[in-house]
Every structure is written in structure tokens, then in C-alpha cells.
Amino acid sequence: MKIIRANSYQDMSRKAANLISAQVIMKPNCVLGLATGSTPEGIYKQLIDWYNKGDLDFDRVTTINLDEYVGLDHSNEQSYWYFMQKHFFRHINIRPENVYVPDGTNPDAERACRAYDYIIQRCGGIDLQLLGIGVDGHIGFNEPGAAFELGTHKVRLQESTIQANKRFFAHEDEVPKEAYTMGIKTIMQAHKVLLCASGTAKAAIIREALYGPVTPQVPASILQMHPDLTVVVDHEAGACLPEDMD
Ligand code: GLP
């Protein structure tokens, strides 16, 4: 595990974007596992900037997103599909056919999730998986107690996650209660994992995830077992980490 400290959200975003850029430059046809939430917004902004400067080319890149709310279609501004278009895809030269987000409109959970696992397999797996972390330690939408050995599956969101994510919705009642998420097994199969965290609210869970016991109660704790994990934290999110990490 490599922990990189950044001194601000912007610095965290630039450092993480640098690592993603390196992946795209080293393997132009790579498969990126992508995340939503406020943490990666700055990363996408930085990547767009470098794309506009001609430093990055996404023509041969494939992206596979972690998760999607059940019941929200592409036109819904709160869907993760919409988020990704708005914050990243519509600003770069990625091919629409190379972009994957779980189909939240498919009411047949079994079919939707198997289809997604098949897509990941057909793409040859994920080269680099970008992750944020929920205040309860969730990654993707794998909530505390999630089995480590699952592929894509339907989850019921924890109350704390609904509370944390309600800021994106007009009213709390509009926050979907269920989501389809890539499972921890799939996340752990990514060749590289890049976990990013920003802000005081993430400080305690980042320490618990990286230095506490590996337990399904803290889904992100399994990342300690990943052979190629890089963590980028800003000053606040890294506040509870031990000093001598290098
Ligand atoms: C959501 C997403 C996660 C994300 C988490 C944290 O629940 N499903 O992938 O990591 O929110 O979001 P934020 O970065 O806004 O704190």
C-alpha cells in the first residue's frame, strides 16, 4: 500500500489524475473503473484539462463505472450515468460504446448484474479502479456487512448513505433506496486500485479502513489485501493516519 498525502482537495485531484494519466499513456486501450461522488469531480476536471491541452487521448479507453441507483434512467440528473456524462464523458473523446454504467432501469436485478459482470469479463478486467469511500467505509455501494466474494449485485442502501447522498436530491424521499453495484470481488480483481479521500468527515474511516481489522463491517478494509493499492488523501482526510508512512 502506497499512501500519498496531498495538501488540498485540488492537490489530491491533480495527484490522482496524474496516476490515471500514467495508466492511459502506458496503455492507451486500458479499462478504467470509475467512481461518482464529490471526491472524483476534481480528478475528472483535471483530466479534461489535460485532454484539452492535447496531453491525453481517450479514443481507445474503456470505462466501467462502479454503481448506479435502481430506477433512475439516463435522463435523470441524479443518475450516475448523468453524473459521468456531465462531469467527464461529454468533455473528452471517449467513444460512447466504450462507456459502461450498470443499467438501473432494468428491474430484473439478476439479469442486470450478470450482464454487467459479463461486460467486465469481456473487457478483460479492470486495469485501474478509482474509488472514493463512504463515511461508513463503503466502496461503490458495498455497504457494511457486504460479502467480500460478490460480483455485481443489488444492494439496499444504509440510512447513513441515504443521508450523505441526499444533498444531490431535491428531497430526501427522492433518494433511491436500492442500487446495483460492482462487488468487492470484482474491485479486488482490478490490477491497480486508486482510493481517494478528501475532508475531515473521511479522516476516521480512512484510518479504520487502512489500519483497522479487515472486516466486512468496513468494506474498504479489504483493500489492505490488494497487491497494488495507492491511496491519495488530502490534509484533512489523512489527519488520523500515522505520520511515518513513506
Ligand atoms: C456514493 C458512491 C461511492 C462514493 C461515496 C462517497 O455512495 N456510491 O462510490 O465513494 O458516495 O461520495 P463522496 O465522494 O461524495 O463523499
Average pLDDT, rounded, for the chain: 96
Instruction: Kindly report the protein residue whose alpha carbon is nearest to atom 3 of ligand 1.
Output: 140
Is the CB of residue 226 less than 8 Å from the CB of residue 195? Answer: no
* pLDDT over threshold 90, residue 26: yes
Using the CB atoms, write b or e for 40-60: b if 16+ within 10 Å.
bbbbbbbbbebbeeeebebee
- Candidate list 136, 178, 191, 208, residue with the active-site label: 136
* pLDDT over threshold 80, residue 129: yes
- pLDDT at residue 221, rounded to an integer: 98
Q: Which residues, other chains included, contact 86 with Cβ-Cβ below 8 Å and sequence gap of 6+?
A: none
Half-sphere exposure of 130 (CA within 13 A, CB side): 29
Is the CB of residue 21 less than 8 Å from the CB of residue 47? Answer: yes
- pLDDT at residue 29, rounded to an integer: 98
- pLDDT at residue 243, rounded to an integer: 82
Mean pLDDT across 228-235: 98
User: Is residue 67 annotated as part of the catalytic site, yes or no?
Assistant: yes
Between the alpha carbon of residue 192 and those of residues 121, 148, 228, the distances in Å are 16, 17, 5
Q: Pull the grid cell for residue 170.
A: 431535491
Structure confidence at residue 1 as a pLDDT band (50, 70, 90): very high
Q: Pull the grid cell for residue 199.
A: 475532508
- pLDDT at residue 246, rounded to an integer: 56
User: Higher model confidence: residue 243 or residue 73?
Assistant: 73
Domains of the chain, CATH where assigned: 2-238 (3.40.50.1360)
With a Cβ cut-off of 6 Å, ligand 1 is lined by 35-39, 66-67, 132-134, 140-141, 161, 165
Comparing CA positions, the residue from 115, 123, 229, 89 lying closest to residue 182 is: 115
User: Is residue 236 annotated as part of the catalytic site, yes or no?
Assistant: no
How many angstroms is it from 41 CA to the middle of ligand 1? 11
* pLDDT over threshold 80, residue 245: no
- Pick the range with the lowest mean pLDDT from 87-91, 138-142, 172-176, 209-213: 172-176
* pLDDT over threshold 60, residue 85: yes
Q: Pull the grid cell for residue 235.
A: 490534509
- pLDDT at residue 244, rounded to an integer: 66
Q: Pull the grid cell for residue 160.
A: 447513513
Mean pLDDT across 101-126: 97
User: Is residue 138 annotated as part of the catalytic site, yes or no?
Assistant: yes
- pLDDT at residue 159, rounded to an integer: 92
How far apart CA 236 and CA 39 sit, in angstroms, is 13
pLDDT in tens, 165-215: 899 899 999 999 999 999 999 999 999 999 999 999 999 999 999 999 999
Q: Name the residue of 9, 39, 65, 152 to mutate for ligand 1: max ligand atoms within 8 A of Cβ.
A: 39
- pLDDT at residue 138, rounded to an integer: 95
- pLDDT at residue 182, rounded to an integer: 98
Is the CB of residue 129 less than 8 Å from the CB of residue 229? Answer: no
- pLDDT at residue 116, rounded to an integer: 97
Which ranges in the chain belong to alpha helices (H)?
A: 9-26, 41-52, 80-87, 109-122, 159-165, 184-189, 203-211
pTM of the model: 0.96
Portion of the chain with pLDDT greater than 70, in percent: 99
